[in-house]
Homo-oligomer: A and B are copies of this chain.
Amino acid sequence: MTQVKAEDSIDQLRARIQQFVQERDWEQFHTPKNLAMAMIVEAAEVVEHFQWDSAQESVTMDEARKTEIGHELADTFVYLLRIAEVCGIDLIAATNTKIGLNALKYPVEKARGSNAKYTAYEE
């Protein structure tokens, strides 16, 4: 589905994270179960940044805030990549497949501008 190249940014990240984990002998802790927990803990740190914000406040970004949120997104991403890695899932291919499924489920003409339809997407 995708032809990733040696210089592809995701492949570079995966390799770098793999090395990081191996150097620390942390593979023993990286079961899918533990990594799923770690990922949601990091996702919650993203949520925490926005929990008391109004819709308007949530879109207001300065550089300091972007840096902080970037760190939380990064931690979430690292665990997401690790889960895919240890489960033997090609994250890019899986995401392309899923977007295709979502497009079939939410035809443009029906879904347009509706958060009622969009909410149904989650169910």
What is the chain B residue whose CB lies nearest that of A69? B87
When chains A and B are docked, how far (Å) is the Cα of A87 from the Cα of B103? 24
CB contact list, A27-55 vs B, under 8 A: 28-29, 31-34, 36-41, 43-55
- Residues of B near A16 (CB, < 8 A) are 96, 99
Query: What is the count of identical protomers in the complex?
Result: 4
A/B interface sample: 15 pairs, CB < 8 A: A8-B10, A9-B9, A13-B95, A23-B108, A26-B113, A34-B58, A36-B47, A39-B47, A40-B46, A44-B45, A52-B115, A70-B90, A70-B98, A71-B97, A77-B80
Chain A interface bracket (under 10, 10 to 19, 20 to 34, 35 or more): 35 or more
Q: Which of A9, A34, A96 has the most CB of B within 10 A?
A: A9
Q: Are B70 and A97 in contact (CB under 8 A)?
A: yes
Residues of A67-123 at the interface with B, using a CB-CB cut-off of 8 Å, are: 69-71, 73-78, 80, 83-84, 86-92, 94-103, 106, 108, 111-113, 115, 118-119, 122
A122 to B51, CA, bound (A): 10
Are A20 and B97 in touch, CB under 8 angstroms?
Answer: no
Residue contact B38 to A40, C-beta cutoff 8 Å: no
Q: Roughly how many angstroms separate A91 CA and B86 CA in the complex, as a whole number? A: 22
